[in-house]
Amino acid sequence: MEKRELKNLLYEQVARIGKALASPKRLEMLEVLAQGEKTVETLSAELSIDVKLASAHLKALREARLVDSRRDGKYIHYRLSGPDVATLWVTLREVAEEHLLELRMAVDRMISQPEKLSSVDGAALMDQARRGDVIVIDVRPLQEYEAGHLPFARSMPVGELQQRLAELPRRRAIVAYCRGPFCMLSDEALKLLRARGYKASKILTGVSEWQAAGLPLAK
């Protein structure tokens, strides 16, 4: 094989990853799968698309070796092929935020009330949670929490929060998190907590961003 043919082959293989990521729904699928295994039916509901289209997106991700699967009875469970795939999503999003004004403006609209954000960094937050100075709550579904969560965080899915408010001490600050900067579950939690008189804020970090920063997860 001549040098030019070899170089073409090399770039062509790397381009397979770019082609697989060239879909908004497949990017969202990677973010959801970074939280833990999902069936195609669950992904279909999460992404608000039909099962047939969700299967087609999963096929594209599998062909690029970004997603693996396993069968459990009549259901097939999908997962990322490695933690580096979750880091790839975080890196891609951060590059987009750095260079695309339109994306920065959209993100700014999501965080139009900066007082809702906790400014503490990850290591400091972990220390505060360890001491009990703050209560960190994970408002994702329980299955995602069990797959991996921030150390010292409590599982309080947003759908259960109303019924479990008595578990949260009113005199301590509450910090909520969900799947990452594009996730709005923590906003729902803040709205409820603040309406009930809690001092609550959120962090934009999810488990993928936490791991990408070199911080440990708990299971």
Q: Which residues, at least 6 apart from 60, have a Cβ–Cβ distance to it below 8 Å?
A: 19, 20, 23, 26
pLDDT of residue 58: 98
Cite the residue boundaries of each domain of the chain with CATH code 1.10.10.10: 3-82
pLDDT in tens, 131-160: 999 999 999 999 999 999 999 999 999 999
- Domain made up of 111-212: CATH architecture: 3-Layer(aba) Sandwich (3.40)
- Choose among 164, 207, 162, 161: nearest CA to 183: 207
Residue 114 has pLDDT above 70, yes or no: no
Calpha distance 86→90 (Å, rounded): 6
For residues 162-167, average pLDDT: 96
pLDDT in tens, 1-37: 799 999 999 999 999 999 999 999 999 999 999 999 9
Q: Catalytic amino acids?
A: 178
Cite the residue boundaries of each domain of the chain with CATH code 3.40.250.10: 111-212
> CATH fold of 3-82, please?
Arc Repressor Mutant, subunit A (1.10.10)
